[in-house]
């Protein structure tokens, strides 16, 4: 995705732009307060298996007798942290590479553009699955895979903005004040080049959430037994006809959370354009 694409947000989330921040705030609050809100230990296995929603178990129990609501609340903790790091680490890496390449130019800039072109020509999700498969399931593998494959877009966005900002008059004035190139880049150029990347970050977090859920669904995500939304859907696939709520609640949570993050990114983009 290029800066031009980011500058024109998807219109399909228009109805979600107002409540998006509120939904995210509630989700984050629920994740933070999960130990207080959960009616039971999320890992506690009982003989009260595959029970429908009730007063004792508001979202029912799974095949191992574990309370679904408790696991859902703790899964929010897992997915929110993974989503943040899976998008945040590529942003940091891509920002560093793109800023240096765009500011100094030359062979370094050409090399970054060449590598970025190669990465963008490759099937990202196939490579993501391959990376995790080779490295083995688990959180470290997920973060490494997302970091290696996700930095390209941020590097392109930052590089373009840095090349534009470095020609501004206030940058030239900074040189006259005796500031070094590193100081000018860090204090003046980079802070004025981050808007597009921050807008894309919200969209990228939504895509990261989907990728994490898909990998966990196929058993390539977090460690087995860890409460995670995609893993909960995977565990429930054998009971779709008889116990639909086991997959419905975590699946709906993925949709709401991902849509809210994307809608918030659209709103930021529109505010930036209006400003």
DSSP-assigned letters across all residues of 8-55:
S--GGGGGGHHHHHHHHHHHHHHHHTHHHH-SS-TT---S--SPPS-S
Domain boundaries, position 214: 61-274
Higher pLDDT, 15 or 83: 83
Q: Which DSSP category does 240 fall into?
A: T
- What is the Cα–Cα distance from 196 to 190, expressed in whole angstroms? 12
Predicted pLDDT at 18 = 64
Task: With a cut of 90, say whether residue 61 has pLDDT above it.
Answer: yes
* pLDDT tens per residue, range 198-245: 888 888 898 899 889 989 998 888 888 889 999 999 999 989 888 998
Mean of all residue pLDDT scores within the chain: 86
* pLDDT tens per residue, range 32-57: 999 999 999 999 999 989 999 999 99
Residue 31 located in a structural domain: no
Residue 54 located in a structural domain: no
- What is the Cα–Cα distance from 205 to 210, expressed in whole angstroms? 9
Domain count, the chain: 1
Residue 163 located in a structural domain: yes
Give the CATH number of the domain where residue 100 resides.
1.10.3720.10
User: Which residues are bridge partners to 67 per DSSP?
Assistant: 61
Residue 50 located in a structural domain: no
Residue 19 located in a structural domain: no
Residue 130 located in a structural domain: yes
Quote the pTM value.
0.83
Residue 88 located in a structural domain: yes
* pLDDT tens per residue, range 106-134: 898 899 899 888 888 888 778 888 888 88
Residue 249 located in a structural domain: yes
Are 73 and 31 within 8 A, CB to CB? yes
């Amino acid at each position: 995705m290029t800066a031009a694409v980011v500058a024109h947000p998807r219109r399909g989330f228009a109805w979600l732009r107002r409540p998006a921040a509120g939904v995210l705030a509630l989700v984050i609050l629920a994740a933070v307060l999960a130990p207080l809100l959960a009616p039971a230990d999320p890992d506690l296995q009982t003989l009260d298996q595959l029970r429908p929603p009730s007063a004792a178990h508001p979202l029912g129990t799974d095949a191992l007798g574990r309370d679904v609501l408790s696991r859902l609340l703790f899964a929010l903790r897992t997915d929110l942290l993974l989503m943040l790091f899976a998008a945040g680490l590529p942003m940091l890496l891509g920002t560093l590479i793109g800023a240096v390449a765009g500011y100094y130019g030359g062979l370094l800039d050409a090399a970054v553009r060449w590598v970025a072109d190669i990465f963008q020509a490759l099937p990202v999700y196939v490579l993501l699955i391959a990376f995790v498969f080779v490295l083995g399931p688990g959180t470290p593998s997920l973060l490494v895979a997302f970091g290696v494959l996700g930095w390209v877009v941020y590097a392109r966005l930052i590089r373009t903005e840095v090349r534009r900002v470095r020609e501004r008059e206030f940058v030239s004035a900074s040189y006259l004040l005796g500031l070094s190139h590193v100081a000018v880049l860090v204090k003046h150029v980079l802070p004025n080049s981050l808007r597009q990347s921050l807008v894309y970050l919200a969209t990228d977090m939504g895509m990261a959430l989907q990728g994490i859920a898909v990998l966990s669904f196929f058993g390539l995500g977090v460690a087995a037994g860890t409460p995670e939304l995609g893993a909960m859907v995977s565990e429930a696939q054998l009971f779709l006809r008889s116990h639909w709520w086991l997959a419905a609640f975590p699946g709906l949570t993925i949709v709401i959370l991902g849509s809210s993050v994307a809608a918030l990114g659209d709103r930021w983009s529109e505010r930036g354009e209006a400003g």
